Structure 1
Amino acid sequence: MHVPSPAERFLEDFHQRRPGTTSTAFAHLRSEQHESSYAALAATLPDSSASLSVLDLACGNGYLLALLEQLYPQRLQLVGVDISQAELDEARTRLPGSACLLKERAQALSIGTASVDVVVSHLALMLMDDIELVLSEIRRVLRKDGKVAIVVGRGFLLGAVGDAYLQVFRQVAQQDALAHLPMGDPRMRTEEGWRGLFSSDFDQVTVQNIDVSWQPDFAELWQSLSATYDVDRLTPAARGQLQERFKSAIDHLPHADGTFVTGWGLRLIQAHPRPC
């Protein structure tokens, strides 16, 4: 029987309490080429009229699957996997009844071997335990001519806003005695690490850096940051201190309209299964 790690227990609890957090934060943020990082993933589907089976790993509230259904109506067999029942409950309300939603781990999928055409995932794989096992499961369920496309994190808040935030957060977290909670394999922090992880089971690996831009005022900025994993783990008093100190640290940065220029650094990774 699987015993969840501390990180996995936290992630399941967080998304039970805050379903839809990821899509709320990212669905409206544009990159140079796409309406959102979700749209960047949607654009990786094969340009064909053939019916496709698409698996979304850590599908959350179903935002990406719903977008795919909108873009490719009646062409896709949708499958979503997540460890949070609250996320899956929200996904069920926005997806067609034919969509299959499974509460299970990406490391131990119940999905049949060679039964999926495309595996997608948005801002999830870099948080997962046993990433080599996750990638092995992706390879197992993919058909020989299938593909995988994932968006993962590359950098936190971009620019001076991000630099100021990280400096203040580290100070507050230390004062709050926030325990270290490692999430994901350190190799997933670099392009070279990702290429190495994919090299065992995949070919034609491409890694594309994507920046999604964001110009919030402070209220929008703080609302989004307060829903991040590390801030959620702070005590209420520490969260209040973080908000106050962060606001003071960036008081000199807003435009005349009160907005800040920042964004998030992401990676889009695509690959095809290596022939057995």
Structure 2
Amino acid sequence: MQALSPVETYLQDFHQRQPGATTAAFAHLRARSSVADYASSYAALAAYVPQPTVPLTVLDLACGDGHLLKLLSDRQGPSLKLIGVDMSQGELDVARATLPGHVVLLKERAQELSVETGSIDCVLSHMAMMLMDDIEQVIKEVRRVLRPHGQFATVVGRGFLLGDVSEILLGVLLPILKEEGTWFRFGDARTRTIDGWTELLARDFENLQFEDLDVDWDPLPHELWDSLTETYDIDRLSAPSKTRLRERFIHALSDLQRSDGTIRTGWAIRLIRAQAKP
């Protein structure tokens, strides 16, 4: 595997320390759009894979702890072959301990897959592609491994927190990030817009579809804070800065609390679907 970039090095370290963080944040929350309601953002991707009546091979790119693969394997379809790829050994160790033995797991970068050309019917990816270096090479690899007319679907962030909470968090977080000088941007800016994704996919894919999803959540302040500590920008702060941020953030949330103490928020994400050109 090629030497990791600084961003990849950090991501690998984070997921070694906190495997399953993405599953913990998203697997228990419903995801809804103007046209559909899903049990979770993972379920939105799983729904894209048909019940196979013929042999079908699915690749989960940046599979993490294997939650999406588990949803698919629980279907018990005899013709479904599952492959997971991730660059974090910590995540893959958790996946291996929870998934059936027939699920293939590979420690690889998305930019250089060992998977055979034209061998995959469907490539899925959950909350990862907007973080990846050299996204054009990633997309080339996705197209390379897909069969003609193969399906591609990914869930990516389209923002951050829903509602007024987002503005409050940024108001207290940005000054601290500037003080520490630890902030850096992950991935390619084009992955944050529909126009950007259209540009990235247009050469090798057709029938592009975009579905904006809201992952609704009504946490108590301490539950929201605990979840935010497993986001990358906050994870990278020093302990004193985390303490200052928590105090300011919890205080600022008081005006948003409802009678039961909870806060209306959630995550803003986007489901993207496309078909490989023949």
TM-score, length-scaled by structure 2: 0.96
CA RMSD of aligned residues (A): 1.1
Go from structure 1 to structure 2 and tell me whether the alpha carbon gap of 1:77 and 1:47 turns closer, same or farther (over 3 Å shift). Answer: closer
Could you tell me how far 1:31 is from its partner in structure 2?
Answer: 1.8
- CA distance in 1 between counterparts of 2:133 and 2:62 reads 13
Identity of aligned residues (%): 52
Aligned: 1:173 with 2:197: no
Q: CA deviation digits over 1:62-90, x for unaligned, max 9?
A: 00000111135333111000000010000
Could you tell me how far 1:3 is from its partner in structure 2?
Answer: 2.6
Question: What are the within-5 Å matches in structure 2 for residues 1-276 of structure 1?
Answer: 2-32=2-32, 33-175=37-179, 177-275=180-278
- CA distance in 2 between counterparts of 1:147 and 1:269 reads 11
Q: CA deviation digits over 1:209-238, x for unaligned, max 9?
A: 111100000111011001110111000000
Amino acid at match of 2:118: A
Amino acid at match of 2:228: L
Amino acid at match of 1:199: A
Q: 2:83 is paired with a residue of what secondary structure?
A: strand
Amino acid at match of 1:96: P
CA contact (8 A) 2:52 2:79 kept: no
Could you tell me how far 1:96 is from its partner in structure 2?
Answer: 0.8
* Unaligned segments of structure 2, at least 5 residues: none
Could you tell me how far 1:173 is from its partner in structure 2?
Answer: 1.5
- CA distance in 2 between counterparts of 1:214 and 1:168 reads 21
Amino acid at match of 1:223: D
Could you tell me how far 1:193 is from its partner in structure 2?
Answer: 0.2
CA contact (8 A) 2:156 2:270 kept: yes
- CA distance in 2 between counterparts of 1:7 and 1:27 reads 25
Go from structure 1 to structure 2 and tell me whether the alpha carbon gap of 1:267 and 1:38 turns closer, same or farther (over 3 Å shift). Answer: same
* Unaligned segments of structure 1, at least 5 residues: none
CA contact (8 A) 1:119 1:149 kept: yes
Q: 2:31 is paired with a residue of what secondary structure?
A: coil
- CA distance in 1 between counterparts of 2:66 and 2:258 reads 35
TM-score, length-scaled by structure 1: 0.97
Q: CA deviation digits over 1:32-89, x for unaligned, max 9?
A: 3001000000111135422210100000000000011113533311100000001000
Query: Would you say how many aligned residue pairs link Structure 1 and Structure 2?
Result: 274
Q: CA deviation digits over 1:119-177, x for unaligned, max 9?
A: 000000000001010000000000113100100000101111111011111022223x2
CA contact (8 A) 1:178 1:234 kept: no
